[in-house]
């Protein structure tokens, strides 16, 4: 059972124990939304609003689910109700902008995003949504200006930095984009030695594969994740770790080597925001045949990576091309870019660890194989 499933159970029990508490139904709706149970989420939010019609958060959350269901006019109405109740609700203004954009009203959508950013200047999503819409409207230069304004106050912000590289490339500034997304400089591949207690890497990887398959949090990936036709675990570095414990040591060693290889001083936003203190989080991804991961970044990290535990023998064989490989540089399709991006793909191999900046867009190319493709992803999380 996943943490989200656990959360749904807790929320249901809480809502049953306190049936007249709107916040409990609102929280239940959010947990259901995370698992893609949108109709149930709608019911939970509506129950919250029956109890407390002036619950601005529930109105906004209801609008978000309505957007996911393609009911944009109803979503606009829900977000406007949230704003009427709480005029300086930045998130509601930003979500309103998304719904208006989907209805083909870009001018009103831009105004909504600008209002969200003005209300809450630290709200990265508002600036990102504004820049994305400007890019879609054919004004990448304006999108870059939005990014620069936010990055001046929040240097190295992962989501905005990733988007800025996309916008630079779209406006024809490929060299500037290359400086940010420098494959040769910032992507590193290493082959750690087998940890003590294992006969070799094959033995270690077999133990890791068994650990992942039996992990109690392994569930089919929710729609909010990048995985398609595959499963995710929750945190691997907490609780009984088994072979994940020596893997954590291997990851820490690779991260420390990576950091030490960077120059002590640099104006590059990635290097300049290198954390002094950091923690690790790791999770496993199990892909079945026709499985893949859509283009994504890791917005909570500074540095990210992947360790390959099990790779189907078909991947990398003649005639398969780059099926099952990891590809860097291709942004999400919803940016509607007109320029073909520069990309670089790497063949995964069992025992290979790859480390890269968290703002680098990457994806897994779909593959056909009878075997599972098992990998463990990780993030370096900056700490205060």
Domain limits, the chain:
3-172, 184-383
Q: Tell me which residue of 363, 383, 382 sits closest to 303, measured CA to CA.
A: 382
Q: Is 314 helix (H, G, I), strand (E, B) or coil?
A: coil
For residues 382 and 276, what is the distance between their CA atoms, to the nearest angstrom? 8
Residues 20-51 as b/e (b if ≥16 CB within 10 A, e otherwise) read eebbbbbbbbbbbbbbebbebbbebbebbbeb
pTM score, whole prediction: 0.90
Q: What is the pLDDT of residue 261?
A: 97
Write down the mean pLDDT value for the chain.
Answer: 93
Q: What is the pLDDT of residue 18?
A: 54
- Classify residue 225 as left (phi > 0), alpha (psi -120 to 50) or beta: beta
Are the beta carbons of 257 and 191 closer than 8 angstroms? no
For residues 283 and 217, what is the distance between their CA atoms, to the nearest angstrom? 10
For residues 290 and 228, what is the distance between their CA atoms, to the nearest angstrom? 8
327-367 pLDDT tens trace: 999 999 989 899 999 999 999 999 999 999 999 999 999 99
Are the beta carbons of 63 and 100 closer than 8 angstroms? no
Are the beta carbons of 277 and 383 closer than 8 angstroms? yes
Q: Is 291 helix (H, G, I), strand (E, B) or coil?
A: strand
Q: Tell me which residue of 247, 250, 254, 237 sits closest to 205, measured CA to CA.
A: 247
Are the beta carbons of 360 and 288 closer than 8 angstroms? no
For residues 48 and 29, what is the distance between their CA atoms, to the nearest angstrom? 9
Exposure on the CB side of residue 30, measured as CA atoms within 13 A = 13
Distances (CA, A) of 9 to 18, 42, 275: 14, 17, 37
For residues 105 and 112, what is the distance between their CA atoms, to the nearest angstrom? 11
DSSP state of 342: P
- Listed in sequence order, the residues at least 6 apart from 280 whose beta carbon sits closer than 8 Å to its beta carbon are 237, 248, 251, 252, 255, 378, 379, 380, 381
Neighbours of 167 (CB within 10 A): 26
For residues 63 and 33, what is the distance between their CA atoms, to the nearest angstrom? 12
Q: Is 219 helix (H, G, I), strand (E, B) or coil?
A: strand
Q: What is the pLDDT of residue 116?
A: 98
- Listed in sequence order, the residues at least 6 apart from 25 whose beta carbon sits closer than 8 Å to its beta carbon are 15, 44, 45, 47, 48, 51, 58
305: β partners: 355, 378
Q: What is the pLDDT of residue 16?
A: 56
Q: Please tell me the class of the 3-172 domain.
A: mainly alpha
Are the beta carbons of 162 and 361 closer than 8 angstroms? yes
Residuewise pLDDT in 10s, the chain (384 residues) = 445 455 555 445 555 555 568 999 999 999 889 878 999 999 999 999 999 999 999 999 999 999 999 999 999 999 999 999 999 999 999 999 999 999 999 999 999 999 999 999 999 999 999 999 999 999 999 999 999 999 999 999 999 999 999 999 999 999 999 999 999 999 999 999 999 999 999 999 999 999 999 999 998 876 678 999 999 999 999 888 999 999 999 999 999 999 999 999 999 999 999 999 999 999 999 999 999 999 999 999 999 999 999 999 999 888 899 999 999 999 999 898 999 999 999 999 999 999 999 999 999 999 999 999 999 999 999 998
Are the beta carbons of 45 and 22 closer than 8 angstroms? no
Give rounded-to-5 percent helix, strand, coil for the chain. Answer: 50, 15, 35
Neighbours of 153 (CB within 10 A): 10
- Listed in sequence order, the residues at least 6 apart from 213 whose beta carbon sits closer than 8 Å to its beta carbon are 286, 374
Q: What is the pLDDT of residue 6?
A: 57
What counts of helices (H) and strands (E) characterise the chain? Answer: 15, 10
State phi, psi for 42 to the nearest 5 degrees: -55, -45
Question: Which CATH fold topology does 184-383 show?
Answer: Jelly Rolls (2.60.120)
Residues 54-82 as b/e (b if ≥16 CB within 10 A, e otherwise) read ebbbbbbbbbbbbbeeebbebbbbbbbbb
């Amino acid at each position: 059972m996943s943490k989200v499933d656990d959360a749904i159970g807790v929320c249901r029990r809480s809502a049953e124990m306190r049936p007249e508490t709107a916040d409990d139904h609102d929280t239940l709706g959010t947990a259901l939304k995370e698992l893609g149970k949108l109709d149930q989420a709608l019911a939970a939010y509506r129950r919250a609003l029956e109890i407390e019609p002036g619950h601005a958060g529930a109105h906004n959350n209801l609008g978000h689910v309505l957007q996911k269901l393609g009911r944009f006019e109803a979503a606009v109405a829900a977000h406007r109700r949230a704003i009427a109740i709480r005029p300086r609700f930045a998130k509601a203004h930003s979500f309103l902008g998304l719904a208006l954009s989907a209805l083909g009203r870009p001018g009103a959508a831009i105004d909504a995003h600008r209002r969200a950013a003005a209300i809450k200047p630290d709200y990265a999503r508002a600036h990102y949504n504004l820049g994305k819409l400007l890019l879609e409207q054919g004004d990448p230069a304006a999108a870059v200006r939005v990014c620069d304004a936010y990055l001046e106050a929040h240097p190295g912000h992962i989501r905005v930095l990733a988007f800025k590289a996309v916008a630079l490339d779209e406006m024809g500034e490929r060299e500037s984009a290359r400086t940010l997304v420098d494959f040769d400089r910032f992507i590193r591949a290493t082959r750690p030695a087998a940890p003590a207690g294992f006969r070799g890497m094959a033995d270690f990887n077999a133990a890791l594969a068994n650990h992942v398959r039996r992990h109690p949090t392994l569930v089919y990936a929710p729609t909010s994740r990048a995985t398609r036709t595959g499963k995710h675990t929750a945190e691997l570095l907490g609780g009984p770790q088994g072979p994940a414990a020596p893997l954590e040591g291997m990851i820490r060693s690779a991260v420390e080597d990576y950091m030490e290889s960077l120059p002590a001083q640099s104006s590059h936003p990635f290097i300049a925001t290198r954390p002094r203190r950091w923690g690790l989080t790791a999770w496993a991804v199990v892909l079945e045949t026709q499985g893949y991961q859509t283009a994504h970044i890791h917005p909570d990290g500074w540095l990210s990576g992947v360790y390959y535990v099990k790779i189907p023998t078909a991947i990398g064989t003649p005639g398969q091309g780059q099926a099952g490989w990891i590809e860097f540089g291709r942004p999400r399709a919803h940016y509607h870019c007109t320029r073909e991006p520069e990309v670089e793909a790497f063949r995964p191999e069992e025992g290979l660890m790859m480390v890269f900046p968290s703002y680098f867009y990457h994806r897994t190319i779909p593959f056909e194989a009878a075997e599972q493709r098992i990998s463990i992803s990780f993030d370096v999380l900056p700490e205060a």
